[in-house]
A and B are shown apart, each in its own frame.
Chain A
């Protein structure tokens, strides 16, 4: 569950952007003349006419250097989305993999997901000395999610890895979505992660050669329950254009991920990820 996600969001037309409106705007009277967004004419692309929103921003996150590490790194990533104005306000959790909804029945949705786990480079961390590198893993799979009401979402992702790990991962989460004001929303809930043998062994198993090189005892890592934890997210619409968000995700590694000598002797079963970001949205009208 705790791994790098592709944060860049380029979602056209049906894209995802987190936008809530400032409470101050509620006072706008019916007679107020709205400020017209800048206009552009695209005579060759008539389908593009209408109001569009561009969101640009950045997010910084503090997270373990690798799964099971006790050293933390700070990373930054861009936020970018481009979509028809007002077309997306759907809830999205920081742990969601990039996905596309193909099936949509009432509050039930399903579709494919993709994800990416960067390579684990042994030379970058003393704790990995002698364990060798693990190549980057590309994951593809599917998700199902269900909203029984507007303020609860349950989601399951199942992904198959290719590359560094050829195993199967499954993440389950529930989020309670509580709008405090229209401009401020808190969400959070429990998380549970499972992984099979092939998904666990490359990161937590230690063979004889690795044992000899690292000084850690050999360990045959098996799959099963992988991690359990909780996450929380705040989103605040500072102005109609500016939005800020923060999140914290905590996972406690379980099973062989926690029992591995790598985690027990060189790392930690407690994994925390903290992020902070801001974005700016502006509209323009294409005529």
Chain B
């Protein structure tokens, strides 16, 4: 009986979705806004996470990539997407505060009950105040592998099987739209995977790379990884802004 109910509910949901398939291509969320500040704080570190058949010591490896300028790249892409409908204003902010705004709790349910620190950070760490809205990009997280290891922000999975070796870069982020006067969250959305075909599956965008790229000791100097990340972000930002209805569908 319970299973039948669940099936009917799922069928009803799909029918409802089909019925709504042609509704509202563009958002009205920022219709009254004129001035917007954009903040990105996802690109301080790059973490390589071993998975699959790892050694007994399978610790993550983290390098600083602040010099790659990926946050500036993200701000530029979002600004270009929102212009000329909105007037983009430069803002200054403490990047580190936004980059580490949401430490994961050992009790997952606690994370859902927490107040939203981003709202406070916009009020206390951003200048100038008083813009109509702020668009903020922060790190998101995902689970990966048999044990559900948590990965977040920018990084790579280094996955070994008996017969093969795989690797993928990922860009896990959330875009927040905060009202510049009330500091309420107008909307937020975590970036989705770009498609269902990537060999390494995360809850955010990822893209397969040559595993040999992760074996070099000076990862921070890898132009190929920087380009792969930029390419991934460029493709996924377009989709995520569309999901947020900040831009219309092509």
Return the contact of A285 from the options B109, B189, B192 (Cβ within 8 A).
B192
Most buried by A among B2, B25, B163, B231: B163
Do A43 and B20 touch across chains, with their CB atoms under 8 A apart?
A: yes
Which residues of chain B come closer than 8 Å to A104, judged between CB atoms? 106-108, 148
Q: Does B146 contact A (CB under 8 A)?
A: yes
**Interface mask (B133-154 → A, CB under 8 Å = 1, otherwise 0):** 0000000001111111100000
Do A50 and B199 touch across chains, with their CB atoms under 8 A apart?
A: no
Do A35 and B195 touch across chains, with their CB atoms under 8 A apart?
A: yes
CB distance from A102 to the nearest CB of B (A): 6
The CA of A36 and the CA of B133, in the complex, are separated in Å by 31
**Interface mask (A6-33 → B, CB under 8 Å = 1, otherwise 0):** 0010100010000101110110101000
**Interface of B, helix, strand, loop or mixed by DSSP:** loop
Q: Does B17 contact A (CB under 8 A)?
A: yes
Return the contact of B201 from the options A21, A82, A101 (Cβ within 8 A).
A21
Interface size on A, residues (CB 8 A): 65
Q: Does A121 contact B (CB under 8 A)?
A: no
Do A153 and B142 touch across chains, with their CB atoms under 8 A apart?
A: no
Which residues of chain A come closer than 8 Å to B108, judged between CB atoms? 14, 101-102, 104
Which residues of chain B come closer than 8 Å to A177, judged between CB atoms? 146
- In the complex, which residues 107-154 of chain A have their Cβ closer than 8 Å to any Cβ of chain B? 107, 109, 147-151, 153
Partner-binding segment picked from B46-54, B92-100, B121-129: B46-54
Return the contact of A40 from the options B18, B164, B196 (Cβ within 8 A).
B18
Interface size on B, residues (CB 8 A): 67
Do B231 and A182 touch across chains, with their CB atoms under 8 A apart?
A: no
Residues of A at the B interface (CB closer than 8 Å) are 8, 10, 14, 19, 21-23, 25-26, 28, 30, 34-37, 39-43, 46, 49-51, 53-54, 78, 80, 82, 84-91, 101-105, 107, 109, 147-151, 153, 177-182, 240-241, 281-287
Instruction: In the A-B complex, list the 6 residue pairs whose CB atoms are closest, starting with the nearest.
Output: A147-B147, A34-B195, A51-B192, A91-B146, A179-B161, A40-B17
9 CB-based A-B contacts, threshold 8 Å: A21-B198, A36-B195, A46-B245, A78-B7, A86-B202, A90-B145, A91-B147, A181-B162, A182-B161
Additional pairs, 9, CB under 8 Å, beyond known A43-B20, A89-B146, A281-B196: A90-B145, A90-B146, A101-B108, A150-B52, A153-B146, A179-B162, A180-B162, A181-B161, A283-B195
